[in-house]
Amino acid sequence: MAFKIGLLGLGTVGTGTVQILLNPAQRHPLVQELELYRVGVRSLAKPRSVALPPSLITTDLDAIVTDPEVDIVVEVIGGLEPARSLILKAIAHGKHVVTANKAAIARYGAEIFTAAEAAGVYVLLEAAVGGGIPVIEPLKQSLCANRILTVTGIINGTTNYILTRMQTEGGDFADILADAQRLGYAEADPTADVDGMDAADKIAILASLAFGGRIKLPEVHCEGIRQVSAADIAYADKLGFVIKLLAVAKRESQLPTESTEQLQLRVHPTLVPKSHPLASVNDVNNAILIEGDPIGQVMFFGPGAGAGPTASAIMADILNIAAILKVQQSGTVRSHGTPVLDPLLACSHQSYCTIVPIEALVTRFYARFLTRDSPGVIGKLGTCFGNHDVSLESIVQTGLRDNLAEIVVVTHHVREGNFRTALDEIRAMEAVSSIASTLRVL
């Protein structure tokens, strides 16, 4: 008996998924037990690159998620609505759900997973983070015995592409963004990518899985890459760093306790030492570095987007559900209640993680100041930082820019709140024209 798939959306990822379903040779034999049963689209008139019988295709998406014949609903339409409502309706009708929708899961995960648990169905989302890179399932299964300490990812391909080109070409952000838009690597409205919101959605999902608690998305501290300039990249390079947009989720306390988890959760451009495994992740590639006890550091690397990789992840989720349904349907006697869900694949967090405010973060900073070349300005900066317990590793006048003296500061590990208070004071100084950039150092 085949497992019947109801596919919502026939864009890039939907088409990639159909192409695998229609070409099972040399893939796992279980692919042949899947039946593409219905495909929901917005417009029947739109030309498609896959040939499907017209009887399969419908614009009535509601009819798919409520069809008693459908076993698994695959949602690849994206966006918040109607995706959220369709997912919830599919769950209410007892369908398992596979989705690539990071935005909907990051915002409505609590609602969706609560409904899924009550209905005894799976909601899998490997494709939501890192495109084709296996990371959700390894977190749930392969690393499940670990106490996860940190998840650090380059999980937005557009910004990594822009930063890589800024690094190799020496260009400025605005020019390369424009070129990336022309080439299709950045969207016409690049906000979600370049301002870090897409990465924030994804790290919220990863943190929830890694630390076993729900995440309130607005609590993710989020800075994008608009402030990163060619000058910063050049100075970072001299100091032995590359600049990457990192998404970081970190257990604040290293000690096991009974209370809810205290987490750092943040997205920001970061100076990464060139020898670090994430430093050489370039172009549109993604990578997720996970540190756990007792595993140490493991990294997952690959294409962070694209039809093929994302379809690979979608199909993995479909096949995992099909495999477990085969086990369940063959199981030993049990006469009542909903079936028990696989405790590694299902998501049953009840409590919320506590997110530590960014002011409490202890990290190293890089900052670049433009100052009027008055004698003693380095001394003034140094004194001000010292007054606020911000210990400096180096403070260097790097040259002149626009008739202003450019001063680059790198701190030791300091409390972010202290650093910001010092910056506020520095910003008010007569001798200081502007704070051109402040970046964290990994």
The residues in 244-283 that bind its own copies, with binding defined as CB under 8 A, are 256-258, 277, 280
The reply to whether 11 sits near its own copies by the rule CB under 8 A is: no
Q: Contacts with its own copies in 43-62 (CB under 8 A)?
A: none
- The candidate with the shortest Cα–Cα distance to 213, out of 354, 356, 349, 355, is 349
Sole window of 105-113, 129-137, 179-187, 234-242 interacting with its own copies (rule: CB under 8 A): 129-137
Out of 147, 412, 415, 420, the residue judged to bind its own copies by CB under 8 A: 147
Nearer to its own copies, 28 or 401 (CB): 28
The reply to whether 78 sits near its own copies by the rule CB under 8 A is: no
The reply to whether 240 sits near its own copies by the rule CB under 8 A is: no
Residue 383 assigned ligand-binding role? no
Sole window of 20-28, 107-115, 214-222, 237-245 interacting with its own copies (rule: CB under 8 A): 20-28
Sole window of 69-77, 214-222, 299-307, 388-396 interacting with its own copies (rule: CB under 8 A): 299-307
- Which of 89, 202, 244, 250 is the catalytic position? 202
Q: Cα separation of 22 and 29, whole Å?
A: 13
Nearer to its own copies, 131 or 224 (CB): 131
Which amino acid is located at 135 in the chain? Answer: V
The reply to whether 403 sits near its own copies by the rule CB under 8 A is: no
- The candidate with the shortest Cα–Cα distance to 306, out of 184, 202, 125, 210, is 184
Say how many residues make up the chain: 442
Sole window of 12-20, 40-48, 82-90, 385-393 interacting with its own copies (rule: CB under 8 A): 12-20
Catalytic-residue membership of 95: no
Q: Cα separation of 292 and 145, whole Å?
A: 9
* Strand pairing category for 262-273 and 221-222: parallel
Task: List residues bridging with 263 in a β-sheet.
Answer: 251, 355
The reply to whether 320 sits near its own copies by the rule CB under 8 A is: yes
CB of 326 vs its own copies, minimal distance in Å: 5
CB of 200 vs its own copies, minimal distance in Å: 24
Residue 102 assigned ligand-binding role? yes
Q: Cα separation of 352 and 331, whole Å?
A: 34
Q: Contacts with its own copies in 326-365 (CB under 8 A)?
A: 326-335, 339-345
Residue 11 assigned ligand-binding role? yes
Residue 213 assigned ligand-binding role? no
Q: Under a CB-based contact definition with an 8 Å cutoff, are residues 417 and 388 in contact?
A: no
Size of the site for its own copies (CB under 8 A): 73
For the CA atoms of 43, 49, 54, 56, the dihedral, rounded to the nearest 10 degrees, stands at -90
Out of 153, 157, 269, 309, the residue judged to bind its own copies by CB under 8 A: 309
- The candidate with the shortest Cα–Cα distance to 350, out of 181, 206, 213, is 213
Q: Contacts with its own copies in 167-226 (CB under 8 A)?
A: 212
Catalytic residues: 202
Residues within the annotated binding site for NADP(+)?
A: 8-15
Residues within the annotated binding site for NADPH?
A: 102
Residues within the annotated binding site for L-homoserine?
A: 187
